Amino acid sequence: MTSPDPSVAPVPGDTDPEVVETSGPGVDSIVCTVRVPADPAAVASVRKAVVADLTGRDLPEDLVGEAEIVASELLTNAVRHARPLSDGTIRVRWKIRGEVVEVEVTDGGGATTPKPAPRTVWLSSGRGLRIVRSMAHEWGVTEDRTGNVVWATLGGPSRRRAT
């Protein structure tokens, strides 16, 4: 095995993000968190991390697939339309409680509040939140002191209410 060349700068999103796992608020609740650069290249590595984690927990394949799509759409929207957090990253969390998965993406906020785009056949983009809304049991946007948190719950109800 060869060691990487130290003179070559890493490409943002080129490596797997570090997944930090903590206990959630409930007895059977787990929270996984990654922080990634506000760069489109980070989306694929987050998708990979979400799938690997949820598959390793033996969650249903359709739930894993939905979580992969939702994480990808929410992170892509944050990269395209929002500022990063103060440390230059975007935070992605997935919370697992039984067979319910809540995916949330926290960014530094943007010029507008995230909402699904109107239906149209003319736009080549703008369908991400409509896709999320169609897959999620619940979804919403909350603002906190750092920016926006866009979240979606898959597989059943969440502990919060959509806004």
pLDDT in tens, 16-62: 889 998 887 777 889 999 999 999 999 999 999 999 999 999 999 99
Residue 39 is classified by DSSP as S
Which pLDDT does position 102 carry in this prediction? Answer: 96
Residue 18 is classified by DSSP as P
Strand, coil or helix: what is 143?
A: strand
Tell me the C-alpha distance between 11 and 75, whole Å.
Answer: 18
- pTM of the shown model: 0.81
Residue 107 and residue 86 in contact, taking contact as beta carbons nearer than 8 Å = no
**What order of strands is seen across the sheet that includes strand 147-154?**
20-23, 29-37, 89-97, 100-107, 147-154, 138-144
Q: Is the dihedral of CA 14, 16, 20, 21 positive or negative?
A: positive
Which pLDDT does position 79 carry in this prediction? Answer: 95
pLDDT in tens, 2-20: 334 333 333 444 578 899 9
pLDDT in tens, 89-133: 999 999 999 999 999 999 999 877 766 655 665 555 556 788 888
Which pLDDT does position 3 carry in this prediction? Answer: 38
Q: Is the pLDDT of residue 144 over 90?
A: no
What's the mean pLDDT in 56-77? 96
Tell me the C-alpha distance between 57 and 65, whole Å.
Answer: 14
